[in-house]
Amino acid sequence: MTKTQDLISPIDGSVYLSRDVLSQEAAFDAAKRAKAAQAAWATRPVSERVALVRKAGEIIGAQQDRMTTELAHQMGRPVRYGGEYGGFNERLTYMADVAEESLAPMEVEDSTSARRVIKRVPWGVVLVVAPWNYPYMTAINTVAPALIAGNTVILKHAAQTLAVGDHLAEAFYAAGVPQDVFQNLVLDHDTTSALIAERAVNFVNFTGSVGGGQAMEHAAAGTFTPVSTELGGKDPGYVRADADLEAAVDGLMDGAMFNAGQCCCGIERIYVHESLYDQFVEKAVAWVKGQKLGNPLEQDTTMGPMANIRFAKEVRAQIDEALTDGAKAHIETMPADDGGAYLTPQILTNVTHKMRVMRDESFGPVVGIMSVKNDDEAIALMNDSPFGLTAAIFSRDAQAVEAIADQLETGTVFMNRCDYLDPALCWTGCKDTGRGQGLSKLAYQALTRPKSYHLKKA
């Protein structure tokens, strides 16, 4: 009997679509085809691979209405925000622009006696396991440079966003990328682990939970297959005494609440200098009360449901536990809150780091706010986390911010902004957030291996 995977829409709990799960035998056959196709793909000029990837991006760009509507149905993002093409295209375009330079051989010597050079060569088959929260942008982060670098790609998209994998595959095929070079497969966990454990793939890129990342590394144990991970986050924001208060409120609250708080680098805890604390909380509460929770297909909705009832259940549990332990909630239950996927965004004060809401990843529309006396206290609290993805500091003093940033245990530090991936900068993390090099020129180093040539002529 064929196993199926159902995508439950958070809009109304209905089955949006179903897909057959590939058998293990079929999955290994797909990996063999990808491996067989890789050598010919890698011999194509970089410029040709770049052109095909750019063309696929253009095809997606011509279908933004489809992207927007399907995202609303799959994971609840309001249609008013227009999908993800802006960030998708920015990342794809940058990686295409820097490909030739990033993949160019490093020449050490070319004389009458010897030629010495280091070349970048593709790993082979790259397995991309993509998440549902920004399903186009997170997938293209690796898919585009992996293909451009000469790898073949197997994409396993999240069960919550199966249609995104379909859409990407259609676009790449329409652009002229051979079907064995890019494959979108519906796989279960056991088959995914088996592909890794039996070396059917040569590189793994995983974005998701800490537990998921551990499963990937366990599967790869002893195979020497590289595993790149971006896992959980509990990203902090810090408002210094010299900050522009209005900009800090707008930036940090958007960072905490956009996409129903389901952002890899969303703001989950905020530390405010005591001189601005009361004003910040007052303005932040007003900001959140101005949001409209509702059906994401309606244009006036600013916040849709969480992608799945079980995600909302965890956020509610963290909030309830914090309230029991003395936290204060500032937002009354909104009319659209149904106790399920539709969850009222919440601001909590009187919080401490003993509470899960300030310690565990929430990945939902809740943020705790604490008062701090100075930079040293803020640094200590920001670093008091098992995660290390990003941190955001609002201040008018760039020199002071950089000095603080040097002491933070994160992959990225923002000043006067948050919740953004700059494709020219390396996307990486530390601690339980995982390890890897995404975007920037460094992504090409991660998605290839160095190969040295020492050619003695005489």
Helices 135-148 and 162-175: crossing angle in degrees, nearest 10, is: 40
**Residue 222 is encoded by which pair of tokens?**
């002893």
Whether 239 and 276 have beta carbons less than 8 Å apart is answered as: yes
How many other CB atoms are there within 10 angstroms of residue 107's CB atom? 12
| Phi, psi values for residue 427, rounded to 5° | -95, 115
Could you list the beta-strand ranges (E) of 240-340: 267-273, 328-329
Beta-carbon contacts of 18 under 8 Å, excluding residues fewer than 6 positions away, are 4, 5, 6, 7
CA-only gyration radius of the chain, Å:
23
230 flagged as catalytic: yes
Q: How far apart are CA 408 and CA 428, in angstroms?
A: 14
Q: Which of 84, 230, 268, 361 is catalytic?
A: 230
Closest by CA position to 170, among listed 159, 158, 160, 155: 155
**Residue 429 is encoded by which pair of tokens?**
């993390």
264 flagged as catalytic: yes
Task: Kindly provide the b/e burial profile for residues 271-289, where b requires at least 16 CB atoms within 10 angstroms of the residue's own CB.
Answer: bbbeebbeebbebbbebbe
Q: How far apart are CA 60 and CA 93, in angstroms?
A: 13
Q: Which of 70, 84, 263, 264 is catalytic?
A: 264
Does an H or E element contain 65, and which?
A: helix 64-75
Q: How far apart are CA 415 and CA 117, in angstroms?
A: 40
Residues designated catalytic: 230, 264
